[in-house]
Amino acid sequence: MSAPERLGRGFYWQDMVPGARYLTYGRTVTSSDIGNFVGLAGMVEVLFTNAEYRRTASAIKGEPAPGALVFAVAEGLALNATAQETGLAFLGTTMDIKGPTVAGDTLDVEIEVLEVRKESKGSRGLVRTRNTVRNQHGQTVMIYEPLRLMEGRPA
């Protein structure tokens, strides 16, 4: 009997076509996510650590998530959907935060392939996407355009 085929493997760079669009499943950002991330990163700004300050002085209502956390959640969603075992390196990105994310918001990521090209060594390729992160209301909260080194299809 042969081994079962593993599901969920990411795309090879040759399978990514400029103009193709994909949508991830959503993930809800919780108060625990925010507290754990803020503690881990040392982001002890009062906006993230002081409920009384947020209640009385913050322009953002609710419990805001740092942009770095929103990026991390978006990357988890995007990588699990497109690059499991085939993503070799994150090479850089541009980023624009469009609005706040607060505890209880559910985020998903629309991934649009912008650029695909063969890398100079071996069968690897470079893929640039535009990742639009939206909340449960369809509001865009972040747009970023990562460049990734991706594995090529086996010969």
- pLDDT the model gives residue 8: 87
- pLDDT mean by block of 10 residues, the chain; 155 residues: 82 96 97 97 94 94 96 97 95 98 98 96 94 98 98 89
CATH of the domain at 99: 3.10.129.10
Name the domain count of the chain. Answer: 1
Structural domain includes residue 110 = yes
100: containing domain:
13-29+63-150
Which tokens belong to 48? 């993230």
Residue 141 Ramachandran class (φ > 0 left, ψ -120 to 50 alpha, else beta): alpha
Query: pTM of the entire structure?
Result: 0.93
- pLDDT the model gives residue 155: 77
- pLDDT the model gives residue 122: 85
